[in-house]
Amino acid sequence: MTSTLWRRFDSFVRTLDGFEDIDALLKNRTDLHGKKRADYLFQGRQIIVEQKRLVSNPIYRPQGFAAKTRRDRRIVVYGTVSTRSIFSAQPDADALQRKIILDLAKRISADVADADKQTRDTRLIFDIPDAVGIIVLLNEGAEILTPDVIGYAVSNAFQERSNEGARRYTHSDGVIGISEAQTLPVQALPTYPINTFTSPQTNRAEIVVAFSDMLISKWATFNHATLNIQEE
């Protein structure tokens, strides 16, 4: 694909119905100290979108986690082996594998946390309490963050709770993951995976799905590209 993903996405969203650039709208506001804001509004301010970029490829995190586990547990390994092979003989192999995936995806969890605050404050700034909040994750270069890893990280973030037992991230209704860090062979054409996720605590899942389907369809047309849609 030509140009960077985030530049093309920024050009693309400006073609969508009801597009508004939040930074431009708030340029002259002086009463927003301490408040965060998302990136875009759509469809008569019924939809709030915050865009996050995944650029760095955290390829060394799994090796670091595995090396520490080997040292702590005195696991002897010869040659180059996968983390799954290293953990397979451990009684908590599944838990270790889960930890390594979550460690790998810490950036995604941080992005979800930040976007949740941005959506919350955007609703307050524009007095649009019923607007649907959607996070768009643009994976430009984090090859190791496959759609499965991103899906696991997003699902885990939506399940996080505070010390009091309440869900942490209640202001985001869904996530759309667009990746150009991996390609999938489909009929000999480069295919770029797209994942959509709905928050388990949203009561507006149908709006999330409708907006996601519209965006994905128009994104495909905009790029003249084949896109593989995976829904979670």
pLDDT digit of tens for each residue in the chain (232 aa)? 445 889 999 999 999 999 999 999 999 888 888 899 999 999 999 999 999 998 766 565 555 556 666 666 565 554 444 555 556 656 666 666 666 667 767 888 899 999 999 999 999 999 999 999 999 999 988 877 888 888 888 988 998 888 888 888 999 999 999 988 776 655 555 567 788 999 998 999 999 999 999 999 999 889 887 665 555 5
Residues whose CB is less than 8 angstroms from the CB of residue 231 and which lie 6 or more positions away in sequence, other chains included: 195, 196
Give CA angle at 201 (197, 207), nearest 5°.
55
Q: Which residues of 119-150 are buried (b: 16+ CB within 10 A; e: fewer)?
A: bbbbbebbebeebbbbbbbbbbebeebbbebb
Measured in Å, how far apart are the chain's first and last C-alpha atoms?
26
For residue 198, what are the β-bridge partners?
174
Q: Return the closest-CA partner of residue 104 out of 144, 162, 156, 140.
A: 144
Enter the pTM of the model.
0.80
Distance CA 40, CA 194 (A): 20
* pLDDT given for residue 96 in this prediction: 60
Residues whose CB is less than 8 angstroms from the CB of residue 193 and which lie 6 or more positions away in sequence, other chains included: 147, 177, 179, 182, 184, 227, 228, 230
Residue type, 26: L
* pLDDT given for residue 19 in this prediction: 97
Residue 27: CB atoms within 10 A of its CB come to 8
Distance CA 131, CA 42 (A): 10
Q: Do 102 and 153 touch, CB atoms closer than 8 A?
A: yes
Q: Do 103 and 65 touch, CB atoms closer than 8 A?
A: yes
Distance CA 229, CA 222 (A): 16
* pLDDT given for residue 56 in this prediction: 65
